[in-house]
Amino acid sequence: MTCASCVGIVEEAIRALPGVRSATVNMATEKARVEYDPSQVEPRKILEAIQEAGYEIAVDQVTFGIKGMVCASCVGIIEESLLAVDGVFSATVNLATEKATVRYNPELVTVEVLKAAIVGAGYEVIEAETLDTEMAEREREQRRQFALLVFSLALSIPIMVLMIGFDFFGWAEVLGITGYEGYVLFIMATPVQFIAGHQFYVGTYYALRNRRANMDTLIAMGSSAAYFYSVVVVFLPSLIPFHHHTYFDTSAMIISLILFGKYLEAKAKGRTSQAIRKLIGLQARTARVVRDGVEVEVPVDLLKVDDLFVVRPGEKVATDGMVEDGSSAVDESMITGESIPVEKAVGSSVIGGSINKNGMLRVRASKVGKDTALAQIIRLVEDAQASKAPIQRYADNVSAWFVPAVIAIASIAFLVWYLFAYGQLVGGEEGFVFSLIIFISVLVISCPCALGLATPTAIMVGSGKGAEHGILFKSAEALEITGKVHTVVLDKTGTITKGEPEVTALVALGRSETDILRLAAAAEKGSEHPLAEAIVRRAVRDGIEVPEAKGFEAVPGQGVRATVDDSVVLIGNRKLMDANGVDVFSAETRLQEMESGGNTAMLLSIDGRLAGVIGVADVVKETSREAIAELRKMGIEVIMLTGDNPRTAKVIASQVGIDKYIAEVLPENKAKEVSRLQGEGGKVAMVGDGVNDAPALAQADVGIAIGSGTDVAMETGDIVLIKSDLIDVVAAVQLSRRTMSKIRQNLFWALGYNSAGIPIAAGVLYPFLGVLLNPIVAAGAMALSSVSVVTNAALLKRYTPEIKRKDKRS
């Protein structure tokens, strides 16, 4: 808030809500006091009203690791529980990463209250200060689940073997337990049901308490139906006079197979999160810090800004910093995706986690902890994996009614077969058992897990794979939309071109080229103009000794004047030459050639006579033409946006194969051009440097900030490209399309599996083929369905860009 008018705007916005009795805003404290009727308006609506009025609210964000989620229904339960807490603005739960991200007002709610809401919904919060400890906790949970699986199988398999032996080979008589077979199976099956299967009952309890049903509900109902029916057969046989066969093997194997599926799913999910694990593994554990002239090895967590540390050959750079002594080649491929080691010398910046190849370096720490480039990259990848893609809403909507619908279908199938169909098709008195088998099969074959995992697992792999190639998607929505873009708008300077003018042509008139460059560099040495810097860089690169100039004078809009070696040197445009009576007719042809080639021609005169012409241009990047051609092959229209004059814009556009360009666009008008293109239809992506192009990046459907280097925390841009290479724009589109393809495959499989499996389990094939699905087979199919979805998503790890950047050494 900047003035008293702001107070009135905020108060009016709040008072407009039904149920608000009063609203008082204090400009000094920047706080709003609101009295309202909670039965008519939620705190969240008040916060939204303040935001819609154009003001920010105090919002913190926290992410929790969660244990106990089994399907998409759990996601809904946790989100509803968190959103019911006053002060919570949004809650996003990800089934694949098993994390909840909550945005809340810290003045209304505390982190402890949020944790209590999750626990109250029946789930556990992983108390982990670091990603390492969280992963360790998840690995412990995985080992516990594996122990339960072994325990369950150790009893379930013998139960099945004994059932077969009792039924077909007379083992009861051989073992001398005739008449007691049911008791033996009961003793063996009960631990499986209530120890290995305990988690399913607990999950069902909490789900029902939240007026929801989840996968645990289906498993608990299905296995319990088989188990308790068998218990009645054993202990109260008079209640079921028509059938004395038990189904302890069914109840035990259902639980065992589901546990087996959950174990395989956890292993597969581990593979999908390898990218984030790799990034975390890049972090150095210790650093050799120089203290009082002595090297001391300390944990990297104790490093402070300005600490001096040593990096020996083969060691990881402990943290971001600047080289103060030494030189070496440093491998940054694991962070930037650049395969060639980068030469480092005094004054060079280094990235924490990169590997020193040969020489020894002394580095001054510039960033530590969560501020380092690697930590920022990890955070961006985690945020993207925790977010939801728009397509996920479809799966969430289906999941909300899926389990209740399955329970209803199972119940209807039981009643139809028991009351009507069984007697007509099969006959006999065993209709109840036949119908019970159908009821159990329908419950245990249905798989809400596959539906819930279809999208987030692919997002996990896709965003992680992007990070491996230096492409950082800030959200799942960006990952989804990028593949749908119809138009890519490219800023010229620094995006298509290198962004650093270079000397591209040099014409000497009566003197050597070296002498012309020496005098020009001397005169331009005192200028900060980019063209002047290009001339000085060229002279230094060519090893020319640049003399000192006297009497330096910058002539605005024309050039510079200076005295070098007792000669008056002028360097600039035609206006400067004309104003000082220098004849340029002899160089007119060369001037036109340079300018028609997109160069800026700079004229040099010595003591009033034209001595040379220097052409300076912003050179096109080596891969720009190839990348633009690839984008066009993909059916994407490419447009160049630049503030340059139309002639220069036309030259650059023709060099890279762009047909459409918009020239003389001021920075503040770039966003308007993007908006105009959006109005023509289709998704528009804007590629720029993330600073000068910030408004245009924000306006576009997808803003791509290119060449950020290690500054990946920039707020503008939905995608951050670490390297300044348009090849990565192509790779981002390819990766988005591959990821969405996997999501569609997963959703098709999940829906197709359930659409086919449930009717088969309900017995629709029995009248025609005499085939009835065994509940054990149904449980196995359910277990494998979610594993197949996760495994299919993991195949994205094989992705490599179809267009590869050229080796810089060639």
State pLDDT tens for residues 478-525. Answer: 999 999 999 999 988 788 988 788 898 999 998 999 999 999 999 999
Q: What is the DSSP letter of 497?
A: E
Burial degree of 431 (CB within 10 A; 0-12, 13-18, 19+)? buried
CA pair distance 475, 385, nearest whole angstrom: 7
| Helices first, then strands: H and E counts in the chain | 29, 28
Dihedral sign, CA of 703, 708, 709, 710? negative
pLDDT of residue 429: 56
Indicate whether 319 pLDDT > 70: yes
Return the amino acid letter for 767. Answer: P
Which secondary-structure segment (H or E) carries 337? none
| Residue 274, CA distances (Å) to 381, 412, 560, 587, 808 in order | 12, 44, 57, 62, 29
Residues β-bridged to residue 296: 289
Separation CA 56–CA 263 (nearest Å): 44
**Residue bearing the bigger pLDDT, 70 or 612:** 612
Strands 328-331 and 355-356, sheet pairing: antiparallel
Burial class (CB in 10 A: 0-12, 13-18, 19+), 670: buried
Rounded average pLDDT over 243-266: 87
Tens digits of per-residue pLDDT, 65-98?
898 888 888 898 999 999 999 888 889 898 888 8
Contact criterion met (CB below 8 Å) for 256 and 149: yes
In tens, the pLDDT along 9-46 reads: 888 888 888 888 888 887 666 777 788 877 777 766 78
Three-class HEC string of 431-463: HHHHHHHHHHHHHHHCCHHHHHHHHHHHHHHHH
8 Å CB contact between 803 and 730: yes
Q: Given this model, what pLDDT does residue 807 score?
A: 47
pLDDT-based confidence at residue 690 (cuts at 50, 70, 90): low
CA 68/CA 76 separation, integer angstroms: 13
DSSP 96-140: TTTEEEEEE-TTT--HHHHHHHHHHTT-EEE--SSHHHHHHHHHH
The CA-atom distances, in angstroms, between 27 and each of 32, 51, 58, 371 are 9, 16, 15, 33
Yes or no: say if 330 and 356 are a contact pair by the CB < 8 Å rule.
yes
Region 628-657 average pLDDT: 89
State yes or no: pLDDT of 148 exceeds 70: yes
pLDDT at 95: 87
Helix axes 775-794, 248-272, angle to 10 degrees: 0
**Minimum mean pLDDT range among 8-22, 121-135, 371-385, 760-774:** 121-135
Find all residues with CB under 8 Å of 440, minimum gap 6, and list them.
222, 223, 225, 226, 250, 254, 775, 778
In the chain, % of residues over pLDDT 90: 44
Name the pLDDT band for 563 (thresholds 50, 70, 90).
Answer: very high
| Whether 399 contacts 71, CB under 8 Å | yes
The pair of structure tokens assigned to 296 is 């001391």
Q: What is the pLDDT of residue 454?
A: 87
Q: What is the largest CA-CA distance in the chain?
A: 124
Which residues partner with 458 through β-bridges? Answer: none
Q: What is the pLDDT of residues 323-363, one digit of tens each?
A: 999 999 999 887 776 667 889 999 999 999 999 998 999 99
- Smallest CA-to-CA distance from 42 within 131, 135, 105 is with 105
Residues 746-774 pLDDT 10s: 999 988 888 889 999 999 988 888 778 88
- 89: buried, middle or exposed (CB in 10 Å: 19+, 13-18, 0-12)? buried
The answer, yes or no, to whether residue 597 has pLDDT greater than 60, is yes
What does pTM read for this prediction?
Answer: 0.77
Residue 809 clears pLDDT 50, i.e. is over it: no
pLDDT at 240: 75
Catalytic positions, written as ranges: 491
For residue 97 the two structure tokens come to 């990463």
- Smallest Cα–Cα separation from 403: which of 411, 415, 391? 411
Distance CA(688)–CA(707), nearest Å, equals 9
Report whether 139 contacts 145 (CB < 8 A).
Answer: no
| Cβ–Cβ under 8 Å, residues 652 and 600 | no
CB-count burial class (<10 Å; 0-12, 13-18, 19+) for 545: exposed
With cut-offs at 50, 70 and 90, classify the pLDDT of residue 708: low
State the pLDDT confidence band at 808, using cuts at 50, 70 and 90: very low
Please check the confidence at residue 457 and state whether its pLDDT lies above 50: yes
pLDDT digits (tens, 9 = 90+) for 51-63: 777 777 767 888 8
Neighbours of 165 (CB within 10 A): 16
φ and ψ at 304, to 5 degrees?
A: -125, 160
**C-beta of residue 587 within 8 angstroms of C-beta of residue 610:** yes
